[in-house]
């Protein structure tokens, strides 16, 4: 499947060098095919770029299907169960951000966030949207003191703690005095992340 091979390579190159910085010649060469096959399969550089966004959205949906399962029938849960599920979801996000696999597509997404194009719209509509509303419905049970229209804000602040592990990876490594985050550092970060999240979710009533 030449299309998938081109997309995988392109996500890496676009993420690393940006849309203009990446070259279709290099992408084709690294995929062991001719540059013109990009035109054939995707219509051109722009088409390949959008195909990358769709591919990432699909992978995200797939990877976070277990998380989404935990947001089902949220309205029937008591507060403790909702908190427990949110802790599990945050930890899954953290594991994703820590995982090697996220390196390539995270670069792509973070880039799009800075200067959103049509590709961001596809990422949001194709994956992020469902996660945000799912987490929002759990937050509504966990923190009934927060007005409905502020749940999205709270979700993003929670999510920020995991996002930083990718979006500011270079600084995180400096802060930990390491050159990369492996099993030991990851476990420590997740431990603090869990206790932070628990502290946040337990608040608002006392």
Partner DNA sequence: GTCTATACTACGATAGAC
Partner DNA sequence: GTCTATCGTAGTATAGAC
Q: Are 181 and 173 in contact (CB under 8 A)?
A: yes
Instruction: Tell me the per-residue interface mask from 97 to 136 with its own copies, x by CB under 8 A, - otherwise.
Output: ---------xx--xxxxxxx---x---x---xx--x----
| The CA-based dihedral angle spanning residues 111, 57, 153, 72, taken in that order and rounded to the nearest 10 degrees | -160
Q: From the list DNA, its own copies, none, pick the one residue 33 interacts with, judged by a Cβ distance below 5 to 8 Å according to partner type.
A: DNA
Least spacing, CB of residue 25 vs DNA, in Å: 4
Q: From the list its own copies, DNA, none, pick the one residue 70 interacts with, judged by a Cβ distance below 5 to 8 Å according to partner type.
A: none
Q: Which residues contact 139 (CB under 8 A, 6 or more apart)?
A: 82, 86, 146, 151, 154, 155
Q: Is 153 in the site for its own copies (CB under 8 A)?
A: yes
- CA nearest neighbour of 70 among 82, 79, 62: 82
What are the residues binding DNA (CB under 7 A)?
2, 22-26, 32-41, 44-46
Least spacing, CB of residue 38 vs DNA, in Å: 7
Least spacing, CB of residue 40 vs its own copies, in Å: 25
DSSP state of 33: S
Q: How far is CA 34 from CA 21, 26, 29, 76, in A?
A: 19, 10, 7, 55
Least spacing, CB of residue 71 vs its own copies, in Å: 15
CB atoms near residue 106 (< 10 Å): 20
Residues in touch with its own copies (CB under 8 A): 15-22, 106-107, 110-116, 120, 124, 128-129, 132, 146, 149-150, 152-157, 159-165, 167-172, 174-177, 185, 188-189, 192-193, 195-196, 199-200, 202-204
């Amino acid at each position: 499947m030449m299309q998938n091979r081109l997309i995988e390579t392109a996500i890496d190159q676009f993420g690393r060098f940006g849309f203009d910085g990446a070259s279709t010649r290099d992408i084709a060469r690294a995929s062991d095919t001719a540059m013109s096959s990009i035109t054939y399969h995707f219509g051109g550089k722009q088409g390949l770029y959008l195909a990358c966004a769709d591919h990432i959205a699909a992978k995200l949906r797939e990877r976070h299907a277990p998380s989404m399962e935990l947001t089902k029938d949220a309205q029937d849960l008591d507060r403790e169960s909702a908190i427990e599920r949110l802790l599990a979801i945050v930890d899954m996000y953290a594991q994703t951000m820590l995982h090697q696999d996220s390196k390539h597509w995270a670069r792509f997404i973070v880039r799009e966030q800075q200067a959103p194009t049509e590709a961001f719209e596809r990422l949001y509509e194709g994956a992020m949207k469902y996660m945000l509303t799912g987490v929002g419905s759990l937050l509504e049970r966990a923190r009934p003191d927060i007005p409905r229209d502020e749940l999205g804000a709270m979700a993003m602040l929670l999510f920020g703690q995991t996002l930083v592990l990718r979006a500011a990876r270079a600084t995180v490594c400096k802060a930990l005095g390491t050159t990369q985050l492996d099993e030991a550092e990851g476990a420590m970060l997740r431990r603090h992340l869990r206790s932070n999240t628990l502290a946040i979710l337990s608040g608002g009533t006392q």
